[in-house]
Every structure is written in structure tokens, then in C-alpha cells.
A and B are shown apart, each in its own frame.
Chain A
Amino acid sequence: MAVQTFLFASLIIFSSIESNHGATEVSLFANLENSLEVTAKPTRVGVVLEAGKDMVRITWMLKSSAKVNDDAAFKTVEVKLCYAPISQVDRPWRKTHNELSRDRSCPHKIVSKPYDKIPQSLNWTIDRETPTGTYFIRAYGTDVNGYEVAYGQSSDAEKTTNLFSVEGISGRHTSLDIASICFSVFSFGSLLVFLVKEKRKAKLQQRK
């Protein structure tokens, strides 16, 4: 059996050796130019926003301080919802990583639009499946091949300003709660019924 496991495992290894060939160019966040100006204004300020209901007005454009041909490489702009540091504490699955392919801090894609020299804006309704947390918006400028070349974000470099909080849906439903109670009662009940029935049978047997 151990031999079979070993053979099976070696099959996996050899068939996957290809996967690391053609190593791709690694994009690092530190190498990106902060040449996009991004703003994010929730429609209701100062309160916790509700997923699926509230909206955020997002705008992005090339910074006025950017040099003339900075945007030559941009083809598309990808706007993403990113976790603020407070939502990353003790949550290694949301860790920021310099290597963009390994970065987990901006998992939620909002929109991907072709780059236009005119300032763009979007009234984005917060996705219903957005988890509870504190966020900011980041836009990546990507080139023809899909690699990030520049970025902009609605918060500062330390990600402490202009953050907004979202409350996710609970996922609970009254119908689910009721079904749960019904089945629990059935479970207890049938156990009791069996106990009582068997006790009665035992009593009858004893009388015989």
C-alpha cells in the first residue's frame, strides 16, 4: 500500500514539473508609480455601510503632477476593494505582499475599464457578498499584457485616512432557523419515543 502511495505521488510530481516553467516576470508593488488619483466617497458618511445596499462614488484619473507620457503604457484600469490594516490584523489570509501575484490585500474586483484620458467615475453599489471590514479603493493601471504598471488609491500611503466600513450580510434566514429547530426537535423526540417504547416492551416481557 505504501508503494502504491509512493507511485501515485511520483506521478503527481512528474506531471506537475511543467507548471513552474516559463517563470513570469514578477511585478512588485514597490516598483509601481503612484500616478493615478483615486477618490472614494460613500453616499452615507460616518456610518457603517451595508453590503448590497449602500453606494460608493469612485473616481479615477491621471494625477495632475504626473509627467506627460506616464500613461503611455496603460491599457486598462482595474479598480479593486482593498482591506485596511485594521481588517488585516490576525488574518494572514489578507496579508499585504510586495509581490503582486502573492498579495492578498485586494481580493475584491470592482470594475475593469479601458483607460481613458478623461477622469472616470462610477457609482458602485457595494457587492452583497462583501464581508464585514474596513476598506479603501485602489486602482491599478495595467499594460497590454495585464501587468500592473501604476496604481492609485483613495487612502494615504499608510492606509489610515479616508477609510469606510462595511457591514456584511449575516446570511441568516428565518426559514433556515425554523427548519433547524424542527429537525432538532425531531431528533430529541424520536430518541424519547424509542426509549419509552423499549421500556414498555421490557415491562411486558417481564410480566410474561
Chain B
Amino acid sequence: MAPNHSNENGSIGSSLHGVTAREQIFSFSVEDAPWSQAIRSDDPTAKFALPVDSEHRAKVFKPLSFAKPHMRAFHLGWISFFTCFISTFAAAPLVPVIRDNLDLTKTDIGNAGVASVSGAIFSRLAMGAVCDLLGARYGTAFSLMLSAPAVFSMSFVADAGSYLAVRFMIGFCLATFVSCQYWTSVMFTGKIIGLVNGCAGGWGDMGGGVTQLLMPMVFHVIKLTGATPFTAWRFAFFIPGFLQIIMGVLVLTLGQDLPDGNLSTLQKSGQVSKDKFSKVFWFAVKNYRTWILFVLYGFSMGVELTINNVISGYFYDRFNLTLHTAGIVAASFGMANFFARPFGGYASDVSARLFGMRGRLWTLWILQTVGALFCIWLGRASSLPIAILAMMLFSVGTQAACGALFGVAPFVSRRSLGLISGLTGAGGNFGSGVTQLVFFSSSRFSTAEGLSLMGVVAVVCTIPVAFIHFPQWGSMFLRPSQHEERSKEEHYYGGEWTEEEKSLGLHEGSIKFAENSRSERGRKAVLADIPTPETGSPAHV
């Protein structure tokens, strides 16, 4: 097997070299060493179904395989995330029935929608810590099985207050986004992690679309058995509840935390020393780019989450569709995630190959702005076919923007990589809470007006991407710095460590990452022949 070229320009997935900051990093590339081939024939990596790197992470992505442990972890991860999306948005297509049962006002419905996405702001931040301490398996299982009771408790709901409380508690399970991405990051090597995470994220997000089809169908079937609508919708929630329990059990029995085994039974050796949380937190928060991405994701994923909550009711009320048909239309919004999000990640990788980081930023801006423009059009469309067309184009633009954003995020920081992913993810939920509160929770705007206004605000809030500037790569409008020191990747990533930490060699991982990230110079990276500068650290052999 020919050795892989780790620094190949813009190979798919070179963007997301490890989503969390916890991977083992070596000071020189073990994969390319000629003697690594000889080792493989009689070393334990031979037992893996897929070719693996020196950390036993899979080097190949085979979506149709369920081989233990890598592909199995991928499938368990994205299906768990998918199931949580189904539960969180299960109420949305049934709102026309629920609002009559509980005598809800538009404000009540809007507030419950805000609540359904707010819980995850905190649970997503906490999930990173849980995965570190207990492993991705338990993180996922906790999320699934501790929120399943909340799903079942829809049978007790009798008024607006309890409805809101239950939707809030169900919303906590969206933390599976973090555990799913964490799990794939420890199972798949950096070169392909972009595509793997884009698929896992996109296919999981599809749950928001599938639920718009599934719940009306389940509701209809239960009504056929003779139940009144006001009982049928409560019983319908048992289905997402069951799915969560089943997935929880599967994750615990079939899943594995790490390629070599489970966290609790593994003897850990040669582990990179754990970084201090306070430092990681400070460098994430101090970096202004983190907050720009927070806002941006709030208006791509945030808009997507909001639409999952309001679109079915919008088509039901405005175009007089049946619950079932409105569900089908709404579902197509979420289902576009199947290809749209991976496409966004891929487009980001391709533009990086040609134009470097500047290409990624432009791709992100274009996709998100175009998506938002189609959202404005959706609100203004008064005929059903035009509305559907606008919605489809809007969905592709916005979801691809989500994928493209995670092509930029890993480069913002190396030390605080995991926390930035968590913060960005929380930003998505925050944006959704804000948009639902402002545009869809009062009678001030009709839903149609709300959609158009949300699109306008999304266009405006996408402009900050022009301010993301990397000294070594430039920004949308500015060229990279010409300064000798600042134009090096090592300077940017090394800047996150103090001199004391550097003298201890703690920053080695960042330096390696900086070398690999030279691909973000675009075509110029091929021409540049920059040796790794002396960083003042003791030589490591």
C-alpha cells in the first residue's frame, strides 16, 4: 500500500484535523516512515477491518460497512444524533393538534420552540467534558436515555407551562451532536475527518426533516385504532422515546469508546498530558474569531433549527395543506441535509485547495448569504410551488453553509479546538432561540413576515465573516501579512502557549498542526518551501 502524503494539498478532510484537542500527536509523521509498513504485518492493527494509522484511527471511510470499531462507531453516532433530532422536533408537525388540545396561543407555541433549542446550549458545552471523563459511548447513552423520560412525559402535559417545560427537557438531548463528532474524531484520521464529520452532522440533522413525516404518519395510524386526536398525539411521542431507548442500548452494547477498547478497561499509555481547562477556555474566549463563528452558526444552523419548528405549521396554515402534506413539504427541508451539509464541507475543501483559507471564507459567505436570500423569498412567496422552490434552495444554501463553517472552525485554534466546536454548536442553538423569540413568538409579525425578516437579519449577520483575518492566510478582502514572523502558521498557533509552556514542549501538537495547515495557503503552498522555524523548544527525537 503506497504511503499517504499527509500534507497533500487540500485532500478531502485535511480541514478538520481532529475536532477535539485530545488526540495523540507525534512530533514527526509516523505514517510516512518506510519502516511503518513492516510493523503493520505483525502488529495488532492487522485485526482491524479498515486500514488504520499509528493511533489506530481508520484511514478510510466506508459508509456501507458496519465493521467494528470504526464504522460501527460512525453509524451508532450519527443514528443517535438523528434520533435526538427526531425527538426534539417531534412536536412541530403536530402543533396544529396540540394547540387545540392545550389551548395554546402563538406566544406559547413560540416560547416552547425557543425552549426546545435552549437546553442544548448548556448540554452541548457540558458534553465535551463528559466525553473526556467517561468516553463518547456514555456521553451518547446519557444523552439518549436520560432524556427519553422527558419524551414519554408528553402524556402528562395539560397546559402551556408543562408543554414548554417538557420541550425544554427534551431539547437537552441535542448534546449528542458533540458526542457524535467527538466519537468520529477519535475513530477516524485527520485527513478524512472533514468528510466523516460532514456526513455524520448532515445525516443526523436529517432527523429534523424525517420527524415532520414520521410524526403525522404515526399520529394518523394511532387515530385509525380509534383514539381521539387529543390522545393520539400523546401516544405518538412514544415512538421517538422507544427509538432513544433502543439506540441507547445499542450504543452501550455494540459501541466502543476508542479503537482499542473501552475507556474504563483500557490501560492508557503514552497519553498527551491533559491541558488545563482554564487555559483552553481562555484561549477560546479571547479569540475574536470564535465569536464571529458563534454568530455565523447562529444564523445558519440556528435558522435551520427554527425552520424545523415553524415550517410545517406555516405550510399548514398559509396554504391549507393537510397535516400529512405539510409534513412532507417540511420534511424535504430537513432531508436536504443528506447531501447539502457534506457538499458544503466538500466545497470548502475544494476552495481551500485553490485559494486557501480565503477561498473557505468566501465559500462560507456565499453559501450562507445565498441561503438567507432564498429565505427572504420564501416568506414573500404566495403560491405553493414558488414557496416550495424557495424553501429547497434556501435549505441547500443554509445547510451547505453549516458544513462550510466547520471547514473553517478547526483552524481558529489548535489548543482550544474542542471547546470552539462546542461553543460554535451552542451558538447554533442560541441563534435559533433568538430568532424564534423575536420573529415567531408574538403576533407582531405573521409567520411569512417573520421568515423574510429572519432572512434579512441572517444576511446582515453573515457579513462579519469578512472580519475573520488570519495573519498567515489573509481574509476575504485582505492579503496575508507580509511580516516575516506573523506570516507563519507556527506563529499563530504557537501564540497560544506561553514561553514556559513552550520550554516544556507542551506546544508540540500545535506546531505539528501548523505544519499540516500549510495547505490553507492554497496553490501557493506548493510553491512555499518553509522549513519549520526554531521555536526555542528543546530538540525532541
Contact = CB atoms under 8 A, between A and B. Distances in A.
> Do A and B interact?
yes
Interface string A105-130: 00000000000000000000000110
B262 A180 contact: no
Contacts of B388: 9, 12
A64 interface: no
A132 B103 contact: yes
B290 to A, nearest CB: 31
Contact of A16 (B148, B252, B385, B443): B385
B339 interface: yes
B158 interface: yes
B155 interface: yes
Interface string A128-172: 110111000000000000000000000000000000000011111
Given A12-B388, A172-B158, A129 B145 contact: no
Contact of B148 (A2, A133, A170, A187): A187
**Chief secondary structure at chain A's binding surface:** helix
A93 B141 contact: no
Given A12-B385, A12-B389, A93-B99, A183 B233 contact: no
A25 interface: no
Contacts of B78: none
Given A168-B100, A191-B248, A5 B396 contact: yes
Contacts of B105: 89-91
A2 B396 contact: yes
B446 interface: yes
Interface stretch (B19-27, B38-46, B224-232): B224-232
A187 B389 contact: no
Contacts of B141: 191, 194
22 contacts: A1-B340, A9-B385, A9-B392, A16-B383, A20-B383, A90-B106, A93-B99, A128-B228, A129-B230, A132-B100, A172-B158, A172-B234, A176-B231, A179-B238, A180-B155, A184-B148, A184-B152, A187-B148, A187-B244, A198-B264, A198-B265, A201-B264
B158 A1 contact: no
B317 interface: yes
Interface string B9-42: 0000000000000000000000000000000000
Given A92-B443, A132-B103, A168 B155 contact: no
A171 B159 CA distance: 12
A202 interface: yes
- Number of contact residues on B: which range applies? 35 or more
A173 interface: yes
Contacts of B158: 170, 172
Contacts of B142: 191
Counting from the closest, the 3 A-B pairs by CB-CB distance are: A171-B230, A184-B149, A131-B100
Nearest to A191: B145
Nearest to B158: A170
A44 interface: no
A9 B336 CA distance: 13
A13 B386 contact: yes
Q: Give the contact-size bracket for chain A.
A: 35 or more
A199 interface: yes
Given A5-B393, A93-B317, A171-B101, A187 B149 contact: yes
Contacts of A91: 99, 105-106
B146 to A, nearest CB: 7
Contacts of A186: 245
Contacts of B384: 16
B532 interface: no
A173 B446 CA distance: 35
Contacts of A20: 383
Nearest to B141: A191
B249 interface: yes
B146 A191 contact: yes
A10 to B, nearest CB: 8
Contact of A131 (B101, B235, B396): B101
Given A16-B384, A168-B230, A171-B234, A180 B317 contact: no
A42 B149 CA distance: 42
Interface string A1-30: 110011011101100110010000000000
A169 B227 CA distance: 12
Contact of A190 (B138, B245, B262): B245
Given A133-B103, A191-B146, A194-B252, A183 B241 contact: yes
Nearest to A184: B149
Contacts of B229: 129, 171
A168 B102 CA distance: 9
Nearest to A202: B264
A37 B493 CA distance: 82
A162 B106 CA distance: 26
B389 A13 contact: yes
Contacts of B228: 128-129, 169, 171
B103 A131 contact: yes
* A169, A171, A181 interface centre (most CB from chain B within 10 Å): A171
Given A92-B106, A132-B103, A187-B148, A172 B155 contact: yes
